[in-house]
Structure formats: C-alpha cells, structure tokens
Amino acid sequence: MILEQYYTKCLAQGTYYIASAGEAVIIDPLREVQPYIDRAAADGVTIKYIFLTHFHADFVSGHVDLADKTDATIVLGPNAVTSYAFAKAEHGQIFQVGDISFELLHTPGHTMESSCYLLRDEHGKEKALFTGDTLFIGDVGRPDLAAKSDLSTEDLAGHLYDSLRKHIIPLPDDIIIYPAHGAGSACGKNMSSETSDSLGNQKKTNYALAPEMTKEEFIAELTTGIAAPPAYFPKNVSMNKGVNSSIDEVVRRGTTPIKIAAFKALSVEEDVLVLDVRSPQEFTKATVPGAWFIGLDGQFAPWVGALIEDIDQKIILITPPGREEESVTRLARVGYDNALGYLDGGMEAWIEAGEGVETMSNISAQEFVHGLEKQAIEHPIDVRKPGEYNTSHIADVPLHSLDEVHRQIEKLNPNNTYHIHCAGGYRSVIFASIARSKGISKVINVEGGYAAIKKATRKQLELT
Ligand SMILES: [Fe+2]
C-alpha cells in the first residue's frame, strides 16, 4: 500500500493518494488534477474512486475533471446533492481498493453531508481515518458554514458533538488522523501546524474530544469567536456542487501573453483588474498604474478569495517570469477562472517601452519607530487580524484589518498620508495597493511589519 499526503501550504489543505494492488483513490483533490493522474501512471495503478469528505468552501475541487479523465467514480456521503453523477454512499458502506478497503462513516456537523473514510489494510486492520473538516489536528471544523433557516449553527455543532462521540472516539487509538486542513485555514479556529496525528494523541490533546465535555459546553465553545467566513466561501461551495470549466481551458486562456499596447488598453477598462503577483519589493518599486498586489509567495489564494469581490472578475496578470501557469492555476483553485492573460515580457518590457509606472514609498521599521517616538508619523495604521492586534500592538495605532479592506477604506480620508503595517510586510502592501486604487493615494508601507517594529522599538515606544 502507498499512502501519500499532498499538502498545499497556500490553502493549508491536504489531499490524499492511496494505492494498493493496481488501484488507487484520491481524497479531496485540488482543482488541478494532472499531478494525480501522473502519479497513478507512474505507479501503474488505476484511479478507481474520488472520495469527497464534503463540499469544500475554501477551494474548488477538481473531482469532476478528474472523473472525466480517469473514469473514476466520485463518492460523497448521505445528504449530498449535485449536478454531476456520483455514488451516494450510506453510513457503513465499504469500498474495496486493491487489497485494502475504506468504510464511509457519516459524520454530520461541519456540514450535513460530511463524512470520514476509515482505511483498513490488507489484513482488515484499521489504519487511518480521513476526516475532512470533521476532525482537525487540535480542532474541529467550524459549524456555521452550512447553517440555513431550518438548521442553526448550534444544531450543526450538536450534530458534530454526536458524530465525534458515536463514530470517531470509539475507534482504536493507534489509527492515524489525516485531516483536510491545517494551521492557517479559515475552516477552523485553532488548528495545529501538524498535518497528521494518532487518534490516541488527539483524544488526549484536542479539546473537542475531551471525555468530560458536555454537549452544551461543546456547542458553546464552537459557536463563540468564529470569524466571519471569507466572502468567497459560499461561491466555492456552489462550484463544488456543480460542473465548472475544465482547468485546462482556464489555464489555456489565463496563460495568453498580452502585448504591452493591449495590456495598457485593458488595464484602464472598468471591469478589468490588474493583479501583480510578484514580491512586495518588486511591486513597490514599479507596477502598472492601478494594479493590486497579492503576491504568490504568501497565502495567495485565500487572499484573492477574500479581497476580490466578484469571482467572475476579469483579471490580467503581472507575474514573475516563468510563473504564469502557476498564477492562473492558483487563481482557479479558489474559482477565479477569468484570468485573460499576462503582461508579455513582464514589468521589464513595460518599463523598456517607456510606459508609465506607479511606485509606492517604503519606510524602514527603524525610521518608522523613530518617527513615532518624535510623533512625526502621520496616520499609522495596523492591518493585521483582530486576534493579532489584541495580542499586542503599538499604543494608539488603530486597526483597519485587511480582511475587511473594502469597508475599512471607506473610513480613510483621501487627503491623509497613511503609514501601513502588518506582521511582516505582505498584507500591508496588499492593503496599500487596494487603498491606492480606490483613491487613498498617499500610502507608505512599513517594511518588515510588526516583527521588525518590535525589534526596532526602544523603551520609549509603548506596545500594548
Ligand atoms: Fe470545509
């Protein structure tokens, strides 16, 4: 048996490939499916099933594409309704794959169709449980996403309590838990940075499995302090229930090179967004006027989903050379399928052609701290998350969280100069770029963010 976890950091997501005696399954595939097909071909196995633990909210899965290309059967748990063909499994149903088997355990709570897959080895011994968003390492999935008029967040939390106690806690301690997400995902509150663990260890350390916890306590714990879900979540859920453009088509269109004159004409069209995905340093040095920055080297896809309000937004890209396909694929992972192409030759060609650029001022953390001490910094703002801000921040520096940038920008005055910092200098540039595109033109990025500020801070500056 081969068992492999493909962990994608940008989405904090785990996909699984398990093969035995000529057959394989893929659990919760990402949008781009060629890597799984290539892997199965390299191992000389046929992909028999695609198991989905539930309809994901935070990424668009490629299960329909994968099923089309491989003839594998898509499997979902009870209560699932889709516009494509799939096998609706019942609780306890067994799927044979080579010499191993999987039993579907219906575990409603995170969503009503949520299910786990229990792997038994060649000898019938329970080995692993693929838990989706039912059980994470150190946490469980949020119970609010599937709430509707006749099913409250509390009802869902109650279902999750029952599912964990009825179907997961009784399993042997030595099985390994493989979840769909890890730290950084917006699908839970408090996930560990580990991407797998034994069930026994989780029983000891995961608050949600504590034997003394009552259902009321569990519901109260799960329903307090949940951040509002990112705006793209409901859209990704509906894409996962339907049939979407093939990833090949999306990548083909998005990787069209666009010549400078055409790019320039598109860049000033109202319904086209210029997205610069290079580094913060490259972006601040020179970009195409009006461009937004969301760098590939960060939580790219979740920020795209959280900040670009229209999932069908037409996007033209400024990418690092050679990373065009990666950019388009990573947009498509969260359902942004409408990339029209990229700037042919990149910023270098644009500058060489003598086209106008937009630059952004940076200030070092030392200068910033020094300036604050002398009260010479105009309008410093912090764009981290409320949780980070509440842990520690500079006294009297207000919070304008990037998570709700569009609402926050409305509170800013176009006549002011804003000095913007986040934790490390990635989110501040995103915030500044969006603010600038909406008329807040005087923005200065604090390099290195709060981490650098803390280092540069002398006693005079008060951090609270
Ligand atoms: Fe989920």
pLDDT for 267: 98
Measured in angstroms, how far is the CA atom of residue 265 from the centroid of ligand 1? 40
pLDDT in tens, 2-11: 999 999 999 9
The CATH number for 2-234, chosen from 3.40.1190.10, 3.60.15.10, 3.40.30.10, 3.30.565.10, is 3.60.15.10
Q: pTM of this prediction?
A: 0.94
For ion ligand 1, residues whose CB falls within 5 Å = 133, 187
pLDDT in tens, 127-141: 999 999 999 999 999
Q: Does residue 99 surpass a pLDDT of 80?
A: yes
In this chain, the answer to whether the domains covering 245-352 and 361-456 adopt an identical fold is yes
pLDDT for 226: 86
Question: Residue 420 forms beta bridges with which residues?
Answer: 381, 445
**Region 3-27 average pLDDT:** 97
pLDDT for 165: 98
pLDDT for 462: 66
pLDDT-derived band of residue 457, with 50, 70 and 90 as boundaries? Answer: confident
- C-alpha torsion 290→285→403→386, nearest 10: -150
In the chain, domain spans: 2-234, 245-352, 361-456
Q: Which residues contact 373 (CB under 8 A, 6 or more apart)?
A: 458, 460, 461
Phi, psi of 198 (to 5 degrees): -75, 150
Measured in angstroms, how far is the CA atom of residue 258 from the centroid of ligand 1? 36
Measured in angstroms, how far is the CA atom of residue 264 from the centroid of ligand 1? 39
Q: Does residue 92 surpass a pLDDT of 70?
A: yes
Measured in angstroms, how far is the CA atom of residue 445 from the centroid of ligand 1? 34
Mean pLDDT, the chain, integer: 96
pLDDT-derived band of residue 203, with 50, 70 and 90 as boundaries? Answer: very high
Measured in angstroms, how far is the CA atom of residue 178 from the centroid of ligand 1? 14
pLDDT in tens, 263-312: 999 999 999 999 999 999 999 999 999 999 999 999 999 999 999 999 99
Measured in angstroms, how far is the CA atom of residue 59 from the centroid of ligand 1? 9
Measured in angstroms, how far is the CA atom of residue 135 from the centroid of ligand 1? 11
Return the closest-CA partner of residue 177 out of 320, 14, 331, 334: 14
Question: Which of residues 122 and 373 earns the better pLDDT score?
Answer: 122
Measured in angstroms, how far is the CA atom of residue 186 from the centroid of ligand 1? 9
pLDDT for 459: 53
Measured in angstroms, how far is the CA atom of residue 143 from the centroid of ligand 1? 9
pLDDT in tens, 304-359: 999 999 999 999 999 999 999 999 999 999 999 999 999 999 999 999 999 999 99
pLDDT-derived band of residue 461, with 50, 70 and 90 as boundaries? Answer: low
pLDDT in tens, 216-274: 999 999 999 888 899 899 999 999 999 999 999 999 999 999 999 999 999 999 999 99
First-to-final CA distance of the chain: 53
Measured in angstroms, how far is the CA atom of residue 134 from the centroid of ligand 1? 8
Q: Does residue 120 surpass a pLDDT of 70?
A: yes
Q: Is 185 exposed, middle or buried (0-12, 13-18, 19+ CB in 10 A)?
A: buried
**Region 457-463 average pLDDT:** 65
Q: What class, spelled out in words, does domain 361-456 have in CATH?
A: alpha beta
pLDDT for 326: 98
pLDDT in tens, 381-394: 999 999 899 999 99
**Region 160-177 average pLDDT:** 98
**Region 183-208 average pLDDT:** 92
**369-374 long-range Cβ contacts below 8 angstroms, 24+ apart:** 369/453, 369/456, 369/457, 369/458, 369/461, 372/461, 373/458, 373/460, 373/461
Q: Minimum mean pLDDT among 199-213, 221-235, 401-415: which range? A: 221-235
pLDDT above 90: percentage of residues in the chain: 93
Return the closest-CA partner of residue 291 out of 271, 276, 313: 276
Q: Does residue 34 surpass a pLDDT of 70?
A: yes
**Region 207-222 average pLDDT:** 96
Residue 257, token pair as written in the block: 């090179």
**Strand ranges of the sheet holding 94-97, from the earlier edge strand across to the other edge:** 94-97, 100-106, 115-120, 126-132, 176-179, 197-198
Measured in angstroms, how far is the CA atom of residue 374 from the centroid of ligand 1? 48
The fold adopted by the segment(s) 245-352 is: Oxidized Rhodanese; domain 1 (3.40.250)
Measured in angstroms, how far is the CA atom of residue 293 from the centroid of ligand 1? 27
Measured in angstroms, how far is the CA atom of residue 233 from the centroid of ligand 1? 9
